[in-house]
């Protein structure tokens, strides 16, 4: 098999599981051959539980006459989610040729790059539609926060950090674990970023932070992962400000947080039953924040 790059671009198409020479996959991981918007072929390790969900959905869709592809969409904070999209005959033909070139030379011809970009664009549209729909459905069943809470939570703090009222509860407790980015609203500026967070009570909430601050924190998280370590972004309430920092975690703790995000993506609900693993993460983060 030709050698593929190991670095992971932001968004990609998942093609098929592969092993590199006599490689043994890490525990709970599966290596997937992928292609990014520039036509670069590379391999990436994804969680085995994620792979099993993808496999099950693919088997279900194979019963349909429609062609489909799996886009691995970067939702922010180095977290990707699989998104299934229906594709036309042209894009399906391109994927078949893509695999042929992948194993022959590991080089994608220019004629196939446009269909690849179109498939990934469909993935973006699908992801935004799913998340927006779930957010609207949740908001319809959520009561407005009381005036007491509105008065207690300041909207603007130093560095222009805006803390929005949570979607799913009228109060939340710090520290907050950042789970992923949420779709931007039309009234927002590019300098603002909506985020899905898990508060210390174990409830999901929404906050809005400066995009620059989130980007800087994500760079720190990427640096940590390049060292072979795992972690998550945590939002801390400080006397004069709100800060975002990286907290090192075990792989099992990160996987526990991913189940929370999957729960939201699949149900749109903000109140969820907490597993022992998630509770352990919350206790650990609280202890570190108070030390």
Statement to judge: residues 266 and 149 lie in one domain: yes
Statement to judge: residues 33 and 132 lie in one domain: yes
pLDDT higher at 230 or 7: 230
DSSP, residue by residue, 27-62? TTEEEEEEEETT--EEEEEEEHHHHHHHHHHHHHHT
Token representation of residue 60: 């279900």
pLDDT at 152: 27
pLDDT higher at 149 or 81: 81
Statement to judge: residues 130 and 165 lie in one domain: no
Share of the chain above pLDDT 90, in %: 16
Residue 3 predicted with pLDDT over 70: no
Statement to judge: residues 156 and 244 lie in one domain: yes
Residue 161 predicted with pLDDT over 60: no
pLDDT digits (tens, 9 = 90+) for 209-242: 888 888 899 999 999 988 888 999 998 876 556 7
- HSE value, Cβ hemisphere, 13 Å, CA-based, for 173: 10
Residue 111 predicted with pLDDT over 70: yes
Domain boundary (89, 105, 137) is at: 137
Statement to judge: residues 196 and 125 lie in one domain: no
Q: Strand ranges (DSSP E) for 145-239?
A: 176-181, 192-198, 204-210, 230-237
pLDDT at 76: 65
Domain boundary (137, 153, 175) is at: 137
Statement to judge: residues 166 and 125 lie in one domain: no
pLDDT at 43: 87
Statement to judge: residues 130 and 266 lie in one domain: no
Give the separation between CA 196 and CA 136, rounded to whole angstroms: 14
pLDDT digits (tens, 9 = 90+) for 54-92: 888 888 888 888 899 999 988 765 577 888 999 999 999
Share of the chain above pLDDT 70, in %: 77
Mean pLDDT of 37-43: 89
On whether residue 5 sits in a domain, the answer given is no
Statement to judge: residues 267 and 205 lie in one domain: yes
Find, among 248, 259, 249, 162, the residue nearest to 211 by Cα: 162
**Is pTM, for the whole model, over 0.75?**
no
pLDDT at 159: 35
Mean pLDDT of 140-145: 37
Mean pLDDT of 20-41: 85
pLDDT higher at 153 or 253: 253
Domain span holding position 151: 144-290
pLDDT higher at 152 or 232: 232
When mean pLDDT is compared over 198-212, 246-260, 269-283, the highest value belongs to 246-260
Domain boundary (82, 106, 137) is at: 137
Question: Domain count of the chain?
Answer: 2
On whether residue 4 sits in a domain, the answer given is no
């Amino acid at each position: 098999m030709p050698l593929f790059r190991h670095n992971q671009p932001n968004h990609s198409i998942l093609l098929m599981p592969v092993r590199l020479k006599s490689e043994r996959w890490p525990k709970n991981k599966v290596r997937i051959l992928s292609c990014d918007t520039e036509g670069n072929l590379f391999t990436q390790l994804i969680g085995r539980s994620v792979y099993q969900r993808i496999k099950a959905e693919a088997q279900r869709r194979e019963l349909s006459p429609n062609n489909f592809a799996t886009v691995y969409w970067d939702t922010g904070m180095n977290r990707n989610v699989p998104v299934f999209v229906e594709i036309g005959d042209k894009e399906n033909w391109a994927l078949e040729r893509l695999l042929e070139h992948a194993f022959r030379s590991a080089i994608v011809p220019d004629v196939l790059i446009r269909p690849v970009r179109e498939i990934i664009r469909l993935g973006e549209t699908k992801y935004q539609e799913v998340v927006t729909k779930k957010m609207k459905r949740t908001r319809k069943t959520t009561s407005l926060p009381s005036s007491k809470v509105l008065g207690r939570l300041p909207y603007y703090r130093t560095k222009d950090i805006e803390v929005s009222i949570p979607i799913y509860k009228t109060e939340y407790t710090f520290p907050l674990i950042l789970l992923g980015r949420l779709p931007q609203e039309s009234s927002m500026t590019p300098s603002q970023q909506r985020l899905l967070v898990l508060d210390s009570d174990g409830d999901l909430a929404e906050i809005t932070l400066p995009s620059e601050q989130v980007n800087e924190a994500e760079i720190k998280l990427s640096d940590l992962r390049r060292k072979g370590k795992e972690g998550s972004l945590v939002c801390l309430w400080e006397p004069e400000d709100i800060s975002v920092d990286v907290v090192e975690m075990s792989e099992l703790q990160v996987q526990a947080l991913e189940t929370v995000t999957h729960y939201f993506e699949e149900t749109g609900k903000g109140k969820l039953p907490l597993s022992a693993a998630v509770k352990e993460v919350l206790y650990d983060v609280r202890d570190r924040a108070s030390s």
